[in-house]
Amino acid sequence: MVKYILKRLLFIFVTLWIIVTCTFFMMKQLPGTPFDAERFSIMTPAQQESMLEMYGLNDPVPVQYVKYIGNILHGDLGTSFSYVNQDVGSVIAGRLKPSALIGLQAVLIGLAIGLVLGILAAWKHNSGIDYLTMILAVLGVSVPNFVAAALLQYYIGLKWGILPIGFWTSWNCSVLPSIALSFSATAMVARFMRTEMLDVLDQDYIVTARAKGISQMQVLMRHAVKNSILPVVTILGPIVVNLMTGSLAVENIYSIPGIGSLFVDCIKANDYPVIMGITIFYAAFYMLVVLLVDLVYSMIDPRIRLTKGKED
């Protein structure tokens, strides 16, 4: 198992280097410079040229790339152009908490409701509950999260006054964005759980368990659910990353200072260090979560653990 983890970590570093390289050279194709923004308009051309020279932006792109890789290897992500005298790590950390909070809550909501709906739909196959669950799943996938966010904001926040309509002043401000983001996660979990459980419920060991007189609830929880949850774990990794790293549309609707809005703002401002920092964070987080999901497989299904053991 240790050998397997080390091998995966090596693949992560290689993949991360490829992502950093591609992003760096594509980023340099953005029009303009970091000092073309309106707040730098008072600077003379000579002053702008001096700033470019100070940050090394006048060097050839390959030279800039080599310097950047060297800085990364020393743990230096650079200093933001938009946020004066702030290093990239602190800028990202300041915006990460809101996105992580609403993302984590969205994952928990989507997982809890999705599992319940998927189990009920499979257990009551071809019933009204099954049809209703599938309708909700289709709506959850089809309706964009920004539409759900706007509807929740209007009815629950503005019309009924139950929760705040936006901004980031207390925990209550995170509830509506989390619910809006959870719709797609709920739909995906419900569909995967229902499909897998329908297959598991037709297996011979389920029939045998029922023939032994085991109660329906025990058959459901001890056999069907346990053996149906692996595909849900498969999709859970990407869902966690996507939701916890922020959604630009939802963050803008609710005026949340998250990492999604930061990324777009920095692209507009050509803030190269922050663009690269967010890209590195997102890619590393995604690959580590996928690795964690693979390790969870081995805990859920012993056959996968045996396979990895043979590889090691």
Contact 98, 215 (CB under 8 A): no
Query: Is residue 125 assigned to a domain?
Result: yes
Q: Where does the pLDDT of residue 144 fall: very low under 50, low under 70, confident under 90, or very high at 90 and above?
A: confident
Q: Which one is predicted more confidently, 19 or 297?
A: 19
Residue 39's pLDDT is 55
**pLDDT tens digits for range 37-48:** 555 556 677 777
Residue 301's pLDDT is 64
Query: Is residue 138 assigned to a domain?
Result: yes
In angstroms, the CA 55 to CA 81 distance is 9
Residue 246's pLDDT is 59
Query: Is residue 221 assigned to a domain?
Result: yes
Read off the pLDDT of each residue in 242-258 and give the average, rounded to a whole number: 79
In angstroms, the CA 119 to CA 125 distance is 10
Domains in the chain, number: 1
The long-range contacts involving 165-168, CB below 8 angstroms and separated by at least 24 positions, are: 165/254, 166/253, 166/254, 166/255, 166/256, 167/254, 167/255, 168/98, 168/255, 168/256, 168/257
Quick check: 229 pLDDT over 60? yes
Q: Which one is predicted more confidently, 94 or 297?
A: 94
Q: Where does the pLDDT of residue 24 fall: very low under 50, low under 70, confident under 90, or very high at 90 and above?
A: very high
Query: Is residue 14 assigned to a domain?
Result: no
CATH of residue 242's domain is 1.10.3720.10
Domain that holds residue 169: 100-257
Phi, psi of 87 (to 5 degrees): -75, 160
Location of structure tokens 């996507």: 242
Query: Is residue 240 assigned to a domain?
Result: yes
Residue 310's pLDDT is 47
Query: Is residue 149 assigned to a domain?
Result: yes
